[in-house]
Structures are given as C-alpha cells and as structure tokens.
Amino acid sequence: MNEKITVLLVDDHSLVRRGFRRILEDESDISVTGEAGDGPQAIRLAKELQPRVVVLDYGLPGMSGSDVARKIAECCPKTAVLMLTMHSEETLVRQALDAGARGYLLKSAVDLDLVTAVRRVAAGETVLDPQISLTSVLKGERNSGLTARQLEILRLIVAGKSNKEIASQLDLSANTVAVHRANIMDTLGIHNTAELVVYAIRNGLASLP
C-alpha cells in the first residue's frame, strides 16, 4: 500500500479549511494532518509535520502567501506548496512561483479539482490554473504563446515521456497529446523533439528532471 499524501491546510477562514478538509479526506490516499490560520503558524506546522503538500491561501493576515511559500521551501524542501487564491494577477502568480510554489489555483474556478491538483504537486508536477494567462508569468521566454495545458505537456516531453504516457498522466487521448505537441512546435517554430527540449530548457519553460 502506498503512503498517504499528507496535507497541511492554510487559510484564515475556518469554514474554507473545513470544506477543503472534507473534500480531501474523502480520498483514501490523502490525509489532512494539520490546519493553520496565519503565516507564522503555517511555517511552524510545516516544520513540525513535514507534510507532502501545503495548500496555501495567498491572502493571509500579516504575511503574504509568497513569503510563507518561500519560508516553507527553505525549511521543508520536500514539501510542495499549492497556492489556492482568489487573485489571478500575473504579478502575484509569478511571485508565488518564484517563491517556490509548485501550483497556483483560483478558488473561483468552476471546475476546481483540488484532489487532482494535490496529487499532481505531490508527484512533482507543476499545476497552474488554466484561466491564468502565462505569457507574462513565465520566467524566460515571456512571449511563448503557449497555453497552460501546452506548457504541462511541454514539461512532460522534456521529462522524456511518450505521447501515451503523457495522455495517461493528464487523462487525455494520445491523439489529443499528439495534436498539442504539433501545435507547440508550430507555435515555437521548432521541427523536432530534440530542438524542442533544448529550447524549453534554455528559455526557462521547463527543467530537466
């Protein structure tokens, strides 16, 4: 039996934490091991509990989500921070990612899938809300023109995954992945996978696993 994904919930609204706890603890592979209502408490509990994932609200009293994410990244390098917020401003997204957050989701998203996001960041993936425009969020090539889904697929290509493996991981058809791959190459003006991998790494769109 695989180890459960341990989660620390950080939000200054207890009702929000309670709702997220119910959603996550319905899953047999996820366990909520702690809750915090502010930044200092979140950092203390992260050090104490060493959770696999911290679900972190950006708008905390006293400390920004980015500051909390940075502190957690420093003290708990094996912990993945998933930012969950009402704020979609690209500056805030960039600050969160620069601070070490591995995911950024909007609370207002109609199709918010917190369970899948927690599993994916725990597995080492980066998760970004599809509503967020990434052209100016990305470090490196700011005008890549790629969608959030295409960036996910690009990072998996760089990680050496086949179309079939990517399809399985993202719950898509292999044909859909092939279309995305072709569109990525077309958008970037690249003609083969080797060039694509080099371009992605040089321009900060992906990193080697």
Q: What are the tens digits of pLDDT across the range 146-194?
A: 777 888 898 899 889 999 999 998 888 999 999 999 999 888 888 888 8
Q: Which residues contact 96 (CB under 8 A, 6 or more apart)?
A: 58, 65, 66, 69, 83, 104
Q: If you search the block for the tokens 């996550």, which residue do you land on? A: 24
Closest CA to 188 of 204, 177, 199, 198: 199
Residue 123, classed as helix, strand or coil, is coil
Position 191: which residue type?
H
Amino acid symbol at 153: I
Return the CATH class of domain 148-202.
mainly alpha
190: which 2 tokens? 């690249």
Please give the pLDDT value at position 162. Answer: 93
Rounded CA separation 4/32 (Å) = 10
Average pLDDT over residues 68-85: 91
Judge contact between 144 and 135, C-beta under 8 A.
yes
Instruction: List, by residue range, all CATH 3.40.50.2300 domains of the chain.
Output: 5-128
pLDDT tens readout for residues 97-141: 878 898 898 887 656 789 999 999 999 888 888 777 554 455 444
Contact of 134 with 204, CB cutoff 8 Å: no
Pairing of strands 30-36, 5-10: parallel
Element holding 127 (H helix, E strand): strand 127-128
Looking at per-residue pLDDT, the higher value among 135 and 198 belongs to 198
Q: Where in the chain is the domain with CATH 1.10.10.10?
A: 148-202
How many contiguous H segments (helices) and E segments (strands) does the chain have? 9, 6
CATH of domain 5-128: 3.40.50.2300
Say if residue 87's pLDDT is above 90: no
Min mean pLDDT across 36-40, 190-194, 202-206 is at 202-206
H-helix segments, 28-173: 39-49, 65-75, 90-98, 114-122, 148-158, 163-170
Between 202 and 25, the higher pLDDT residue:
25
- The phi, psi pair for 130, rounded to 5°, reads -60, -15
- Residue of 148, 159, 145, 118 lying closest to 27 (CA atoms): 118
